[in-house]
Amino acid sequence: MEQRRHSRIYSLLDVTLDYLIQGFTRGDYTSVDLVRAYTARVAEVNDLVHAVIELNPEAESIARALDKERTAKGPRSALHGVPILLKDNVVTLDKTASTSGSAVLIGTLPTAEASIVVLLRRAGLILFGKANVSEFAGFRHTNATTGWSPRGGQATGIFWPNMKASGSSTGSAIAVGLGLAFASFGTETVSSLVSPAEKSCVVGFKPTFGLIPNDGLIPVSRRQDTIGHITRTVRDAAQILDVAVCFDERPEQSRYMGEKPSRLYVESCRDIDLSGVRIGVVRYSPKQIDEPKITAFHEALGFLKEAGAVIYDSLPEQTRSIVLETEFKTDMEAYLSSLAENPRRILTFEDLVNTIKSEPSEDYPERNINIMLRGLKTSKDSPQYLSMLQQQDYYACSGGFKGAMEPMGGIPVMTIPMGFYPKGTKVKVDESRGGLVSVAPGIPFSLHLYGRRNGESQLLQVAYAFEQLSGVQQLAKPYILPQTDLEDLVGSRNHGSRNCG
């Protein structure tokens, strides 16, 4: 971790929550200082990477109030006064819009904030702004790039110019990778949180479906949309989960819910002993994975064995079926009908499709709407949907290990940085998706860990052990970095003879 100019203030690029708390406690800086520093960092690089759609204009005043409260009463939680970003499909009623990146939803006003937003406010977090997103969480087109939205523009990765950053929680991952906010929240329907986290060399954490309530999202599928978060470290991810967890009692979610854990999740991040932990390995064809990833994966298995884990190799694969296009249509119509203000009178999925076609900033037909057009032809009472839904439930439960790993299985998933493409790697450009760079020297890739439903504690234990033994993230070298840091703002208040405690 970078410690600047021999002070005890660490760079915002990789500062942990524990160090932030120490600084608050010592009076080294305030939440206002954090907001100002992060704001300056966003201003320096956002025109190049398009990670942030908008910042909350009230963030500094909220920070000032939380600073006063910390002094008078103490912190509400470990995350008191810490700025975080939200993916633009998480509904808020503050001064920022909630549009899932779409121009046609500008001006709409939801009736209520997402439950996770209420939980975070109560815990004293600062909702710093909205992160860029693949429009409608990637469920609009089949021919456009991930990370593009009419509101946010084309988000690009941080390890190579014009790099593909994946999606749909694109901006959420980029922002954490560049230290534009301490952490971020995203959503996952199909790998849309863990995949961009991988591309930004950060930790992506999708918990068990329903552990964090998923109401208040601009939906793809209420049955599968899952709120998760992105951080620099596994321990930070655990500490955020301890604040954000909610054992939701709605029937549609409770099918995956277990008992509340007997200890804090962060207590799983204490040591690297994995003695007795059993880990299954799913291998894919070498044609699907290139050599640098295979080499790094074998090294990762070695680290896990070194920590005492028992490895069970070569578990079988299953296929994935689809029902999301149907649920996107019906769940989006339910969201549209709930809006308190809807200036364009977009009431049905067909209205939404037609409005996108007529709105110039939506870039149609260059970016098609094929996924949405397929959704127009389906319904939840169609025999095909019901058959596919039954098939999904089988594979997610009794139909095999790999099936349970699919998104509809509802299990927790974490990505932890595992390695980088080496020097001399041939640059590959994805011409079919906007000409973004998909492979190049220094671009990262991750280890994906899957746990049992409600098995977050053990998943965190394994992820923490691997992170500590591998040390991969410390080797990350983004090609672009903001220059303003926290120490630049607090200046002489902490300059002098004090050493890091």
* Residue positions annotated with a catalytic role: 87, 168, 192
| Helix, strand, coil distribution of the chain in percent, nearest 5 | 40, 15, 45
CA distance 250 to 232: 32
Check residue 442 and give left, alpha or beta (phi > 0: left; psi -120 to 50: alpha): left
Report angle CA 97, 146, 223 to the nearest 5 degrees. Answer: 70
CA 208, chain centre distance (Å): 14
Radius of gyration of the chain (CA): 22
Determine the angle formed by the axes of helices 115-122 and 234-244, rounding to 10 degrees: 100
Among all chains, which residue has been given the structure tokens 């969201």? 335
Among all chains, which residue has been given the structure tokens 């912190």? 75
CA distance 456 to 206: 10
Residue 166, amino acid? S
Q: Where are the alpha helices (DSSP H) in 97-137?
A: 115-122
CA distance 36 to 437: 33
Instruction: Extract the tokens encoding 339.
Output: 């809006």
Closest CA to 192 of 177, 206, 180, 178: 206
Longest dimension (CA), the chain: 73
